[in-house]
Each structure stands twice: as structure tokens, then as C-alpha cells.
Amino acid sequence: MKVTVLSGGVGGARFTRGLLALLAPSAEVTVVANTGDDLWLHGVRVCPDLDTLMYTLGGAVHEDQGWGRRDESRRVSDDLAAYGLGWEWFTLGDLDLATHLARTELLRSGLPLSQVTARLCERWAPGVTLLPMSDQEVETHVRLADGRLIHFEEWWVRHRAALPAVGFEQVGLASATAGPGVVEALRDADVVVLPPSNPVVSVGTILAVPGIRDALATTAAPVVGVSPVVGGAPVRGMADACLTAIGVATDAAAVARHYGRRAEGGVLDGWLVDDADAAAADVLRAQGWTVRAAPTLMTDVPTTAAIAAAALGLVDRLP
């Protein structure tokens, strides 16, 4: 069975770990990762969502934090600060920095990000084919209510998404194409999953890359999603601020309608919401959606595997 997942960082990585526990080793899982959060920092290329996926699936993630390396230290960034350099709001761990240095060296040698990622994954053996959404640099910026445009990471990490935003712009998108293998992974899948990733700046950014939304619309595979909104709030992080900025309510049914049903020009065939949102499921069902309520808190790997099973069960794609 071939499963393709469109993923951001922490939510998508944790979900995929559960999916692998459910399916491995019988399934071929491809993860298309958001690279809109990527940035140049101190001359190195940082790819937060690719790294979260690589570390989580490779068994090296800082489990409580959800991102970055376990047993991490910060000697380099502290020393940079002593020069009055760097951004004190962006964590750059020493071990993590080795990943960024390796990536940057490979990029400088002329390899595209997709090949660089494959090379880094040789070490981490994530158990999936990890594909950047695009080989071109596409960086999400936030349009603030006061008119300024700042990098997504500055808004998210430095300002904790507290500055009122009115929208998101993907700088570089116009000249970007889907990365090698991405359209094929959607076309040839037996099922496509939208994990509980941020619908705006993770999955939304991936869908904005030319060719990807079309591939999702036309694939023979069913497409199922898991709500990242539980009981009217994100589980971790500030996805509510992203939804508010684009005029979507922080509500499991509103997120489903934002994605839309494939039968009506959207991207979903099935939608899994949390038990806390059973009422939203009833409303969607009455409107023709294939929807189910189940526990969706990814507290540990077996629980997450059960969430993945509930998602695949929506469209009869259980192994």
C-alpha cells in the first residue's frame, strides 16, 4: 500500500510516526513536507519542518519539545550572542546546527534540496521517502495589520503570532514548481492523508505550490484529513492566529469547509475530528461529508496509530 502524507512539522511528524507503527513494514509512505518556513540564518539554510520530520521519524527528536534534537546544547548560539550577532529569539542548537551546515554544504555543491534531503535521510533512516514540496526557495511571509511583511518564523517564534495579521504571502511561489516525485506520489498513492498539521501555513502552503492542488484534485486515491483543531482550539501552537488571519473560524467543521470536499472542488474525501467535536461531525455529515469523531490526541505512538487507523478507515483503506 502506498500512502502519501502532506506534512508540516510537529503535528505531521507525530502523526506519521503513528501511521508507520500501524502500517510498517508493509506500506510505502511518502511525506511531502512544507518548506515555506525555511530561512537563511547565519549563512546556513534552516528547514524546520523537514528537520522535525527527520528527527521524529529517525528517533532523535526532543520528545517534550516536539522539534529539535534531544540532548541538545546551545554553545554556538550563546557565543554568537556574545558578538552581538544572531537573533536571540531563534533557537539554533549545536547538534541541529550540524544538520544545517551539512545541508548548506550540499546545497552549495549544487544539489537541489530534494537530493540534499535524501542524503541527510541516509543517516536518519526515517522509514519514509521524505520530499520537500519544492526544490525552489519559497518562504512564507506574514502581512501584518500595519502593512509590514515579515518572515513567518519572525512572526511565529519572536512575536508568538500575537501581532495581528491579515494574510500570508509565499515569496518565491510564482517561479516554484512541485519537487521531484511530489506529483507522482499523489497520483500513484492508494490513499493521501492530510495529518493534523496547520491548515494555513503547513498544508495550505504545500497546496499553494503549482501542480499540487491539481494533483490532489485528480488522483484516483481517496484523500482523508485529521483535524488539528480540537474543541475550538489548536492542540499546540497558535494555528488559531493563522486561521483568523485568513478569515476561517478555529473550529473543526470550519477547517473542513476551508479544505472543501473533492466532490465540490476541494481536496478532501473524509475528515476525522476529535470526540470533543462530535457535534461538528454531525453537522458535516448532514451536509454530505464522510466524517467521524474519535480520540485524536497524539499522546503516544500506539494512540497515534489508532488515530491513523481511524483516518484510513474513513475510506476503507485499512491494511
Residue numbers at the binding site for Ca ion (CB under 5 A): 8-9, 37, 49
If the CB atoms of residues 80 and 129 are measured against ligand GDP, the closer one turns out to be 129
Among 99, 117, 136, 197, binds ligand GDP (CB under 6 A): 197
Min separation Cβ 53 and ligand GDP, Å? 9
Which residues in the 6-65 window bind ligand GDP by CB under 6 A?
7-12, 49, 52
The CA angle 132-134-137, to the nearest 5 degrees, is 110
Min separation Cβ 230 and ligand GDP, Å? 5
Among ligand GDP, Ca ion, none, residue 234 binds (CB under 5-8 Å by kind):
ligand GDP
Calpha distance 21→129 (Å, rounded): 16
Among ligand GDP, Ca ion, none, residue 237 binds (CB under 5-8 Å by kind):
ligand GDP
Residue 157 binds ligand GDP (CB under 6 A): no
Stretch touching ligand GDP by CB under 6 A, among 89-97, 141-149, 177-185, 232-240: 232-240
Residue 235 binds ligand GDP (CB under 6 A): yes
Which residues, at least 6 apart from 64, have a Cβ–Cβ distance to it below 8 Å? Answer: none
The single residue listed with the C-alpha cell 546544547 is 73
Residue 171: helix, strand or coil by DSSP? strand
Q: What single string gives the DSSP state of each residue in 37-68?
A: T-EEETTEEE-HHHHHHHHHHTT-B-TTTSSS
Calpha distance 223→24 (Å, rounded): 20
If the CB atoms of residues 49 and 96 are measured against ligand GDP, the closer one turns out to be 49
Calpha distance 40→113 (Å, rounded): 14
Min separation Cβ 272 and ligand GDP, Å? 9
Is the distance from CB of 4 to CB of 189 less than 8 angstroms? yes
Which positions lie near ligand GDP, rule CB under 6 A?
A: 7-12, 49, 52, 196-198, 202, 226-228, 230, 234-237, 239, 296-298
